Amino acid sequence: MSSEPKGLRRITVQWPTIVWLTIVWVLLWGNLAWGTILAGVLVAIIVSIVMPLPSIEFKGRVRPRYVFLLVIRFLYDLVVSSFQVAVQAFRLRETPRGAVVRVKLRSDSDLYLTLTSELSCLVPGSIVIEAHQVTGTLYLHILDLARYGGEAKVRRDVLDLEARVMRAFASKDELDRAGVSIRGRHMPHRQEGQS
């Protein structure tokens, strides 16, 4: 049993959060004075004690090569999608046929669910409207499903994004359980409705 107080242990564990909240505080005030910094630290500590963030377990490893490939592909998707959405905005006679598509992810990790969800939201033309942590399912709204290529293409793209995220950050065991190969090929994902 630790003699260290629970609140103090929480502060030491969440020091990156405290630093980040302090930076946000200083930026919001727009003043780099010692008083503003100290007030930011104090507010960050109080927030960390009163409303602690849940810890996310990370058992993986960072693979710089795959992180680089993930970033490059994300930037490519960002530019292409931005252009496509801009073109769609000028098609005044056509009404886009949006749709919600359900995608069951391979991994059961909250971290990879969150990363996949966030990267999907940042690309124009699609937004995650719901994420089910327990089932590992994302619900995405697609601006124009027909122009995107249909539900199957949405599912394939999201699962490919999840695979890129996992190659960048997952452990070998997590990759194996999800059926994702480090070399870029992955086992076929079981379709929803199949047993």
Asked whether residue 27 falls in the same domain as residue 69, the answer is no
Domain assignment present for residue 100? The answer is yes
With 60 as the cut, is the pLDDT of residue 11 above it? no
What pTM, to 2 d.p., does this model score? 0.70
The pLDDT tens digits of the residues spanning 41-89 come to 999 888 888 877 666 677 788 899 999 999 999 999 999 999 988 888 8
Asked whether residue 166 falls in the same domain as residue 87, the answer is yes
With 60 as the cut, is the pLDDT of residue 7 above it? no
Average pLDDT over residues 3-30: 71
Domain containing residue 134: 64-178
The pLDDT tens digits of the residues spanning 149-166 come to 899 999 999 999 999 999
How many domains does the chain fold into?
Answer: 2
Q: State the Cα–Cα distance between residues 178 and 111, nearest whole angstrom.
A: 14
Tell me the sheet residues that pair with 140. 101, 128
With 70 as the cut, is the pLDDT of residue 132 above it? yes
Asked whether residue 35 falls in the same domain as residue 82, the answer is no
Domain assignment present for residue 56? The answer is no
Q: State the Cα–Cα distance between residues 88 and 184, nearest whole angstrom.
A: 32
pLDDT over 90 percentage in the chain: 38
Asked whether residue 25 falls in the same domain as residue 84, the answer is no
Angle at CA of residue 79, ends 159 and 187, nearest 5°: 15
For the chain, give the mean pLDDT.
83
Task: State residue 184's pLDDT score.
Answer: 58
With 60 as the cut, is the pLDDT of residue 114 above it? yes
